[in-house]
Each structure stands twice: as structure tokens, then as C-alpha cells.
Amino acid sequence: MTTIKDRNGRAVKHRVRYRTPDGASRSRTFTKKADAEAFLVSTEHRKRTGEYVDPTAGRMTFAEYSERWLERKRQTVKVTTAQTFAAHIRKHLVPTFGPLGLSAIDRESVKAFAGGLQPGVQPTTARAIVFTLAAVLREAVDDGRIVKNPAERIKVGAKTERRVDPRHIAQVAGKVTGIAEAVPARWRAAVLLMASTGLRLGECLGLTVDRVDFLRRTIGIDRQLANVAGQTGFGTPKTKAGIRTIPVPAQVVELLAAHLAAYPAGEDGLIFSMENGRPVTRSRWSDNYRAACATVGLEGRTRTHDLRHVAASSLIAGGLSVAAVQAVLGHASPAETLDVYTHLWPTDEERTRGAIEAASSGWMNHANEAVS
């Protein structure tokens, strides 16, 4: 360690010279001798334990590194996922952390950022934004730019209740026919199809003729309509479990057949399309769906996804098991199905009453007649 003195011979700075694990020469200057000695001891310790990170590597700004990270992610994740990451980085992360060097981002600043996200965004969105931040910094650790990830295990708000409101879903179920009649005629069958089968909007709008087996009465789902590089095109389902084959009754097959007779398939065999045969954009669909809901007098916040809940509630009311409902909806696990719909299944008490009623109905009626 070298001591730098002023003209009067007083020590004013202390320069530490050291070598990185790959042999490169580095130096760092401190005002206090104790800080210089602590840095030297810490550096040698990290070199021995394999935890050494070159201090200069963490000077890259978050804005620059996150852009590089995003470019790599675009090669490995779904387009829609990459778009979500990009939105988080552009709208939330870069405005806060962009000018900072990676090593300058500490846990306190991340906690402050996470705490300030609400009430501006929903809890689920806030958690997703912090997840993106943690993912970027996790890779920075792997790249040797920072020692630890300050965004790991940061809690963001309370977990929101995912369960659907049965009263709202019952209200939507009673308006399905009206909604179908209020949307453009060429999309009426789409409303009825989603309310019957639980297809997600992207899965429904991406459904093509070759995915429907009119003879065996099944619908194959292995892709969905998504925004790809600013253009509407085919993408993979939300999860691997989203790839599925759904058995449907005759009336659903007849519905699709009648629809295709009135509105021939569009580009790539799309069953539902714009007037020019092009794919239906989500913005166009959403505008028309909201207008249709207003026409039939639906109160509160309504979404196309409510039609999926209508289908799920019908399947549960029909006595299907958790596994069966999971398979139809394309959930990744039974836990996901239960997380959203468990309260819609009959309770053990209700099942017991039903079983006793079914078992005793014959002789109970006979007994009632005998005593009357």
C-alpha cells in the first residue's frame, strides 16, 4: 500500500495496489488508511474464496446492462414475456435505476422502490416488476458484475385473492347470450365458444379450422394469437399445460360449423377474423366487448376472461373433478385450479346431503306415502 503525502509531509491518501484473479493490475485510493487496509484484506479474502468481483465491472449503468439482458432474453423466452419484461424496464426500472451503476443499487433503494410502486399499480403487477428487477440483477451476479443481488426476496404487498366472485360470474353467465348478440355478428360464436369451453381470448382468436375435429368433436389447443414484434401472429400457449385437447358436445361443433358457413375462415384458416380476413387485434376485440357488456347492463369491471370463469363454474356445477377442470382450462397444476375456483366446489356437507338424498329417495318416498 502506498501513502500519498502533501507538501508538508502529511498523509492525505492511501493507494492500494492489487491484482485480480486473472493477473490484471488494479489500484484504488482511499482517504482513510483503515478503509484502505480493510479493502485490501477483503479483496484478498474474496480472491481466495472465489467471490471476487472486479469493482470496475459494476460501474456499468443499469440502463445499459438491462438492455443487454433484454436482448438475450428475447432469444430464449416467449415474445409476450419479453414484451412484459421490456415494459417493466422502460416504464418503471430505468426511470429509477437507469443512471446508477449496478454496484450502486443496494437493498434499501430496492425496498424503497418496491414500496413506492403501490397504489400506482396492482399488487400482482408490482410483484412482477420487482421480479424483473431481480432477474436482471441475478444475471449481473452470474456475469461477475456485482457480488450479491439486492432484489432477492423483496416482499411486495400482500398476496391478492385470486378467487373469482361467484355473484359476478353468475351475473355474466346470465348475460352471455346478450353479449354475443351485441358484439359484431362475425364474433358472436367466439363469445359462446369461450363461455362454453373456457378458452382464453388468445386461444380462441388463434383457433384455426385444422385444430377442430368435427367428427371426433374435439378442439386442439397448441398456440394462441399474440402480439409478435408489433404484429398480431401465432405464439405458444401461456404454459406447457395450455397445450391440450378439449372434448366438446355436438352443439359446440354445430356452432362452429354454422359460423364458418356464414363467415369463411380467414388468413391461415382462422375461424374468427376481421372483415378482411386478418387476425382480430386485441384492441379491436376489447373495444367491442366492453361496448357489448355496457349494452346488456353489466355493472362493474368486466373482462373477456370472465367468460372463462363462466365455463369453469359450469364444469364444476356439472360435477367434474379438479383434475378434469384443470385439463380443460389448461392450468399448470391442480393447485392453480383450486386457488381460483375451490370455493365453487360443493362442501363435504353439501355432498353428504346429496348422497343421502340420492340413496334414500326411493324408500323415503315410499315411507312418506305410508304415513300419509
**Does 299 lie in the same domain as 230?**
yes
- Residue 343 belongs to what H/E stretch? none
Q: 109, 142, 175 — which closes off a domain?
A: 142
Taking the alpha carbons at both ends of the chain, their separation in whole angstroms is: 108
Q: How far apart are CA 74 and CA 82, in angstroms?
A: 6
Write down the pLDDT at residue 356: 55
**Does 105 lie in the same domain as 180?**
no
**Does 329 lie in the same domain as 187?**
yes
Q: Are 53 and 46 in contact (CB under 8 A)?
A: yes
Q: Please check whether residue 160 lies inside any domain of the structure.
A: no
Residue with the larger pLDDT of the pair 172 and 11: 172
Q: Please check whether residue 268 lies inside any domain of the structure.
A: yes
**Does 67 lie in the same domain as 176?**
no
pLDDT above 80 (res 10): no
**Does 79 lie in the same domain as 15?**
no
Q: Please check whether residue 323 lies inside any domain of the structure.
A: yes
**Does 85 lie in the same domain as 121?**
yes
Q: For the chain, what percent of residues have pLDDT higher than 70?
A: 81
Write down the pLDDT at residue 109: 93
**Does 336 lie in the same domain as 197?**
yes
Residue with the larger pLDDT of the pair 10 and 209: 209
For residue 182, the domain's CATH number is 1.10.443.10
Condensed to tens digits (0 to 9), the pLDDT of residues 106-117 reads 999 999 999 888
Q: Please check whether residue 360 lies inside any domain of the structure.
A: no
pLDDT above 70 (res 208): yes
Residue with the larger pLDDT of the pair 12 and 75: 75
Write down the pLDDT at residue 216: 95
Tally of structural domains, the chain: 3
**Does 122 lie in the same domain as 196?**
no
**Does 177 lie in the same domain as 133?**
no
Rounded to two decimals, what is the model's pTM? 0.64
**Nearest Cα to 326, choosing from 318, 309, 338, 310?**
338
pLDDT above 60 (res 301): yes
Q: 142, 175, 192 — which closes off a domain?
A: 142
**Does 74 lie in the same domain as 46?**
no
**Does 120 lie in the same domain as 45?**
no
Write down the pLDDT at residue 77: 84
pLDDT above 90 (res 277): yes
Listed ranges 256-260, 311-315, 342-346; the one with the highest mean pLDDT:
256-260
For residue 112, the domain's CATH number is 1.10.150.130
Mean predicted confidence (pLDDT) in 221-235: 80
Segments forming the whole domain that contains residue 124: 61-142
Q: Please check whether residue 11 lies inside any domain of the structure.
A: yes
**Nearest Cα to 309, choosing from 344, 274, 272?**
344
Q: Please check whether residue 149 lies inside any domain of the structure.
A: no
**Does 208 lie in the same domain as 189?**
yes
Q: Please check whether residue 353 lies inside any domain of the structure.
A: no
The size of the chain, in residues, is 372
